[in-house]
Amino acid sequence: MTEYRCNVCNVFEYDDAEGNTELGIVPGTKPEDFPDDWKCPICGADKTHQMPV
């Protein structure tokens, strides 16, 4: 269980234990396992900008 935050906008947060149903991400999914075309819903940064907090 890790929480992540986009290091570009510092607004979007993601908890891998909860997933994100709005974005179609199931619980247990790590940011590196997001689809290759995934973008931060706030700023549009790619998945490599999701950093553990």
Q: Mind giving me the DSSP string for the chain?
A: --EEEETTTS--EEETTT-BGGGTB-TT--GGGS-TT-B-TTT--BGGGEEE-
Alpha carbon dihedral 49, 42, 9, 40, in 10-degree steps, equals 0
Structural domain tally of the chain?
1
The predicted pLDDT at position 1 comes to: 83
Residue 26, domain member (yes or no): yes
Q: What is the pLDDT of residues 1-47, one digit of tens each?
A: 899 999 999 999 999 999 999 999 999 999 999 999 999 999 999 99
Residue 52, domain member (yes or no): no
20 strand-pairing partners: 25
Residue 5, domain member (yes or no): yes
What is the residue type of 36? D
Domain that holds residue 8: 1-33
pTM score of the predicted model:
0.90
Q: How far apart are CA 28 and CA 44, in angstroms?
A: 22
Residue 29, domain member (yes or no): yes
Residue 14, domain member (yes or no): yes
- CATH number of the domain encompassing residue 24: 2.20.28.10
